[in-house]
């Protein structure tokens, strides 16, 4: 009897997906998507908080589009804003306790005026020479400090600028702290008195900086056979001018330590009343050149 192969039923029919299962899968995918978005948002917020402390005041708008300008941080000087630089020279007032008080801040302005005008942040190699009269009475003080003759610099944005919109400002310095002035007032020196400084003027002065104009260097007396306390040979002079900042810092630290070990006082002070040898060994030199650099922080 012939054998017949078994009947092949073929591919079984595909079961229809239920509508409920489709909805469940869709909801699961959407839920996972929203969870991923939430995790990304939280992580991004934490990153912004750690990297940018003032991110809450960032605003991607022009100044005219900003509604509340007090809530937005903007630089007073940008690439388009022009500015002036005021320079002042100060000397310790003569006859004020002969310099014995460490907290003596009484000073006399020798020069205070705008010396650079209409500058931009991209300007380079701008120079100017100042002429002023330096009284020698400050060099007769028993205690002479490097800040007894100093220079101060103030950046003043030119009109129009955001300075005209300053209504108040704050500073980290306590109000009871006496700080040295950076501009004579009235400004410039010798101008008519038009009243006290405005809030904008005080805000600009709070950004000013001061630099000492006195340096003290020690040399041995030529009347004795002793060797000079500080001696620099030609090789050292070349090293100081080769632009290696690390070597320069090490050199100055060594010289400061030598001066301190020799006289017991830091190099920025000449105290003849306590150390009479300072009168013949520690000589003050007036700094006659400064280089001012402005950095446009991103």
Position 244 in a domain: no
211 occurs within a structural domain:
yes
Residue 47 lies in a domain: no
Q: Is residue 159 part of a domain?
A: yes
Predicted local distance difference test score (pLDDT) of residue 136:
85
- Rounded to two decimals, the pTM is 0.63
* Domain coverage including residue 127: 83-216
Q: Is residue 15 part of a domain?
A: no
| Per-residue confidence (pLDDT) for residue 167, from 0 to 100 | 85
Quick check: is 165 in a domain? yes
78 falls within a domain = no
176 lies in some domain: yes
| pLDDT (tens digit per residue) in 151-174 | 999 999 998 888 888 888 888 888
Per-10-residue mean pLDDT for the chain, 298 residues long?
61 68 85 93 83 66 75 81 95 63 71 94 91 86 86 94 86 83 92 90 92 82 50 37 52 56 60 67 84 79
> What is the DSSP code string of the chain?
----PPP---SPPPPPPPHHHHHHHHHHHHHHHHHHHHHHHHHHHHHHHHH-TTGGG---S-TTT-S-GGGS---SS-SS--EEEEEEEEEEPTTSGGG--TT---EEEEEEEEEEEEE-TT--S----------GGGGG-SEEEGGGEEEEEEEEEPSSSGGGG------SS-TTS----SS-SSSSTTPPP--SPPHHHHHHHHT-EEEE-EEEEE---TTSSPPPSS---HHHHHHHTS--HHHHHHHHHHHHHHHHHHHSS-TTEEETTT-TTHHHHEEEEE------------
Q: Number of folded domains in the chain? A: 1
What pLDDT is recorded for position 255?
A: 57
């Amino acid at each position: 009897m012939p054998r017949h192969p078994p009947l092949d039923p073929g591919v079984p029919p595909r079961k229809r997906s239920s509508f409920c299962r489709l909805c469940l899968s869709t909801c699961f995918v959407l839920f996972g998507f929203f969870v991923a978005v939430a995790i990304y948002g939280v992580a991004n917020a934490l990153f912004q908080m750690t990297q940018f402390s003032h991110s809450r005041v960032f605003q991607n708008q022009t100044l005219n589009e900003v509604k509340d300008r007090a809530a937005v941080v903007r630089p007073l000087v940008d690439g388009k804003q022009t500015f002036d630089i005021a320079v002042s020279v100060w000397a310790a007032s003569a006859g004020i306790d002969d310099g014995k008080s460490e907290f003596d801040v009484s000073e006399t302005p020798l020069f205070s005026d705008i010396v650079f005008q209409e500058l931009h942040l991209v300007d380079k190699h701008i120079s100017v020479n100042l002429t002023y009269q330096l009284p020698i009475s400050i060099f007769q003080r028993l205690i002479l400090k490097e800040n007894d003759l100093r220079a101060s610099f103030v950046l003043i944005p030119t009109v129009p600028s955001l300075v005209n919109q300053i209504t108040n400002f704050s500073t980290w310095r306590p109000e009871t702290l006496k700080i040295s002035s950076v501009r004579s007032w009235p400004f410039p020196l010798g101008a008519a008195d038009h009243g006290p400084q405005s809030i904008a003027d005080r805000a600009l002065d709070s950004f000013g900086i001061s630099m000492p104009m006195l340096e003290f260097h020690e040399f041995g007396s030529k009347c004795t056979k002793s060797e000079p306390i500080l001696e620099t040979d030609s090789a050292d002079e070349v090293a100081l001018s080769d632009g290696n900042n690390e070597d320069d810092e090490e050199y100055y630290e060594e010289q400061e330590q030598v001066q301190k070990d020799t006289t017991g006082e830091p190099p920025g002070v000449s105290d003849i009343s306590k150390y009479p040898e300072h009168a013949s060994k520690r000589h003050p030199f007036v700094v006659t050149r400064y280089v001012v650099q402005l950095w446009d922080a991103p």
